[in-house]
Amino acid sequence: MTLPPPRPITETIGPVDYARFHEEIRPAGQPVVMRDLAADWPGVVSARQGNRDILEYLLRFGPARPVSGIMAPSEHEGRFFYNADMSGLNFTAHHGSLARFLGELLKLSEEDRPSAIAVQSETLPNLLPGFVEANPMPLLPQVVPRIWIGNRVRVAPHYDLMENIGVCLAGRRRFTVFPPDQLPNLYPGPFELTPAGTPVSMVDPLAPDLDRYPRYAEAWSHAQQATLEPGDALYLPYAWWHGVEALEPVSILVNYWWNEAPEGTGGGYDALLHAMLAYRHLPADERRVWRMMFDHYIFSDSDPAAHLPDHARGIMSPASPRLFKQMRQMLRQIFVG
C-alpha cells in the first residue's frame, strides 16, 4: 500500500509581526509556515552564499565552550534511531570544540555516503555570544534560542511539551507533523530509552511497515508537511508530533521553545509517569473511577471548588506561588513519610 502525499502545512500571507503572531496565529492552534520571517538575518544571508560562508560566520562569534555531538554510521542513511534489537541507539556521542565539528561537517559534505553527524539543542547565547543580538526574533524576544547543526540527518516523529518556532538558517528541512491526538496511531516507543527525549514513533515515515503498524495509515491521513528554505520559519503548537529531515549536506536550524505554564507548576511528564505507576495496572472498574476524578478535578473547564467558600478551597484555589509551594510541601510529606 502506497500512502498519498500529505497535505501542505498552512502558510501565512504577508508579513508576521508580534501582534499578528500572538493574536491570530497562536490562538488558531495549528502549525503555520512563515516564509522569509528571518530572511534579513545576517546568518541567512551568509548561508545563501554557501556552506563555507555560514560555517565561517558562526565561528566569528568565538564559540565559548565545547559541544556535544552525535554520529551514526553511513549504513543508517542519516536516521538517528534504535539499533536493530532496540537494546540501545544506533549512534554514538562525542564531545569537542565547535570549530572541529564544523570542520568535519564541511569535510563530510564532499562525500557521497557520509556518516550522519549533528550537534543538537545547544543554547545559543552561551555558545555563540552575540549571535542572538545579530539575528533577533521579534516574535519571542524573551525566549532563549537553541541551535541544531548537522548534515542529511533524519529525526523520528516525536513531540515536545512546549510550543516551538523553528527557523531554517542553512540548508533545507522537511517537517512532517501530526496532531497530538494521533499518538495511538504513531506507535510510540519506550519511555526509558529514546533518541529524542520523549518517546518517538517506531514507524519510519520514508518506509512505513503497514503490516506491522497498520494504524499508521490513519495517522498519515492527518499528516501535514512543508519544506523550509533558509529564512523560513515553522510554528508548532504544544505537543504536535514532528519528524524532521535535513535535506542538505550542511543544515542548521535555530529554534525557540516556550510554554505558558505558571511558574512553580510541576512537570506534566513526571506526573504522567507517576500516574502510570498509580493507575495503569488497576482493575478496569477502578481505572474508570480515577478517570472520572481526573476529568473532574484536572481536565474540566468548570471550577471543581465553586461550591466552597474561598477560605476552604485549599489546593483547589486559583494558581499562585503560594499554592504551588503548599502543594509541593504536601507531596514531600507523602513521599518522605
Give the DSSP H/E element, type plus range, for residue 101.
helix 98-108
Q: Which residues of the chain have pLDDT under 50?
A: none
Asked if 204 and 307 sit in the same domain, the reply is: no
Asked if 253 and 320 sit in the same domain, the reply is: no
Name the residue among 278, 296, 289, 256 with its Cα closest to residue 125: 256
CA distance 199 to 191: 6
Asked if 99 and 238 sit in the same domain, the reply is: yes
One-letter identity of residue 212 = R
Q: Rounded to the nearest 5 degrees, what angle is found at the Cα of 242, between the Cα atoms of 241 and 248?
A: 175
Asked if 279 and 232 sit in the same domain, the reply is: no
Domain membership of residue 312 as a residue range: 268-336
CA distance 319 to 166: 31
Ranges assigned E (strand) in 127-232: 146-150, 154-158, 163-170, 173-178, 224-228
Give the per-residue pLDDT at 159: 96
User: Does residue 93 contact residue 70 with C-beta atoms inside 8 Å?
Assistant: yes
Give the per-residue pLDDT at 337: 55
The domain boundary residue, chosen from 214, 234, 258: 258
Number of domains the chain is built from = 2
The domain boundary residue, chosen from 258, 293, 319: 258
Domain contains 223: yes
Give the per-residue pLDDT at 323: 87
List Cβ neighbours of 15 (8 Å cut-off, separation of 6 or more). Answer: none
Domain contains 2: no
Name the residue among 151, 141, 169 with its Cα closest to residue 107: 151
Give the per-residue pLDDT at 44: 98
Asked if 177 and 310 sit in the same domain, the reply is: no
Asked if 278 and 229 sit in the same domain, the reply is: no
The answer to whether the Cα torsion of 205, 210, 213, 219 is positive or negative is positive
